[in-house]
Amino acid sequence: MDHNSFKIDRVIEQRLKMDREVYENFLAFPALYKRVRIDTIQSNKNQQLLFNSRLDKFIANTKKNKIFGQWNDDGRLLDY
């Protein structure tokens, strides 16, 4: 999860950019949150149904400008 080595899958990036509001909300989210959520989606690239389900949920929540899940370990990871 190194900041410099992390790359967003092209398919995910394209889906985020399809809706300007979604992409702007995504860019405003904390860096750690983006890496955790995107990694959770990307790690299932070979399981297409799970990949699409997670991506759809992420995009729906991003559209609402909503952060979800245990991405910061109850605040302990906010410095990363």
pLDDT digits (tens, 9 = 90+) for 19-71: 999 999 999 998 888 988 999 999 999 999 999 999 999 999 999 999 987 65
Whether the pLDDT of residue 13 is over 60: the answer is: yes
Cα angle: 16, vertex 20, 50; to 5 degrees: 20
Per-residue pLDDT, 3: 59
Contacts of 35 (CB under 8 A, 6+ apart): 1, 3, 6
